[in-house]
Amino acid sequence: MEISYENTKDCKVMTGKMALPNQYFAGRVGSKFIIALRDEHKILGVRCEKCNKVFVPPREYCEKCLSKLDESWVELSNEGVITNYTVVNYNDKHLPRRAPYILALVKVDGADTPFPHIVEGIDVEDVKVGMKVKAVFAEETTNTIRDLDHFEPL
């Protein structure tokens, strides 16, 4: 039997669009982090005494030992170090910046875990692991992690 791939006359294509509206409940711990970021320009973490680790973003329970952490808040520095990075080189509607821009992992002083954020104020060619950076806060709140607008070199 011969199968023809060329002739697609009268072959229907059904076009669809999945609409999946959703919301996300941040919980008490996540909410407290965003509120401190928004109202006080402070980055908060939680410490697990048992594992001797400070987690940012904070979480209610240590994922390693299940210790309860929501009472062990630590106020961290607004300065930190780039532990890794990449350069985003394409444009799309969901992206927060026009390409090219730097997306880095930043470990703020006092934390044991880095978190991802945008780095600006430096040419994409010049970013390096180990570079010291400081937080720049957004002028208008969005009640999200983007209340911290970006990091820039010290």
Would you tell me which residues interact with Zn ion (CB under 5 A)?
48, 50-51, 62, 64-65, 67
> Considering only residues 5, 10, 20, 140, which one is a binding residue for other proteins as defined by CB under 8 A?
20
Element (H, E) at 81: strand 79-88
The closest of 56, 55, 73 to 64, measured between CA atoms, is 55
Q: What count of other Cβ atoms lies within 10 Å of the Cβ of residue 122?
A: 15
Q: Least CB distance from residue 53 to Zn ion, whole Å? A: 7
- Which lies closer to Zn ion via its Cβ, residue 37 or residue 62? 62
Q: Least CB distance from residue 37 to other proteins, whole Å? A: 17
- Which lies closer to other proteins via its Cβ, residue 17 or residue 98? 17
Contact 122, 152 (CB under 8 A): yes
Q: Least CB distance from residue 44 to other proteins, whole Å? A: 16
**Residue 30 — left, alpha, or beta (φ > 0 → left; ψ -120 to 50 → alpha)?**
alpha
Q: Which tokens sit at 145?
A: 């992690």
Q: Least CB distance from residue 127 to other proteins, whole Å? A: 27
Give the binding site for other proteins (CB under 8 A). 12, 14, 16, 18-30, 59-61, 63-66
